[in-house]
Structure 1
Amino acid sequence: MERVYLKKIINKKVMGNDGSEIGTLKNVTAELETGDLSEMVVHLNENSSGQRRYRAEGGYIYIPFSSLRSIRDYIVVDVRSM
């Protein structure tokens, strides 16, 4: 995967690979010891299918980076691995 800067993807829409709209990327978490990115912090849209489908903590869900499939106009994640 090519290098992508965080400031370029914050506030991008997050979609499932099944076409579902999940929410908007707001932050990421990292492992302090290794520097590896671990999770995407996604704010669920109020009217999106993601609001009904995924359990949220205060309106946010944490999606593992291993679920990431592509970053283009949208961030696409594999919903089966979430």
Structure 2
Amino acid sequence: MKKIFARNLRDKQVVSSDGVTLGVLNNIVMDIRSGSIEDLVVKPDIALDKGKYKQDGEFILMPFGSVRAIKDYIVVDKAMSLASAAEPPVTEG
């Protein structure tokens, strides 16, 4: 994937690979040891059923591995983003 500045990602709309609007990117979760991006923190669209996704408070978390494209929108693989809901919640530590 082409390099992109994090500041250019904030407030981008996040959509699933089947065209459903998931919400707007609010933040990212990084592994401070490796520097890799772990999750996208998304403010969900008001019409979205959040119960299908991994949640952290009022936000939903999309695994960075589910990102398929970043242009005008951030496109995530639907199956991978739904599968992340079965993972344990993020804990700070």
Decide: shared fold, TM above 0.5. yes
Q: Which amino acid aligns with 1:63?
A: M
| Per-residue deviation, 1:58 | 3.1
Matching residue of 2:75: 76
Structure 2 stretches lacking a partner, 5+ long? 82-93
After TM superposition, list the pairs within 5 Å mapping 1:1-80 onto structure 2: 1-47=1-47, 51-52=48-49, 54-55=52-53, 56-80=55-79
Aligned residues: 79
Of 3-12 and 56-65, more deviation after overlay is shown by 56-65
Q: Distance in 1 between matches of 2:40 and 2:9?
A: 11
Q: Distance in 2 between matches of 1:20 and 1:59?
A: 19
Q: Which amino acid aligns with 2:25?
A: L
| Per-residue deviation, 1:57 | 3.6
TM-score after normalising by structure 1: 0.88
Between the two proteins, what is the percent identity of the paired residues?
30
Name the Cα RMSD after superposition. 1.3
| Per-residue deviation, 1:62 | 0.7
Q: Which amino acid aligns with 2:19?
A: G
| Per-residue deviation, 1:52 | 1.5
Q: Distance in 2 between matches of 1:79 and 1:34?
A: 26
Structure 1 stretches lacking a partner, 5+ long? none
TM-score after normalising by structure 2: 0.79
Q: Distance in 2 between matches of 1:76 and 1:59?
A: 21
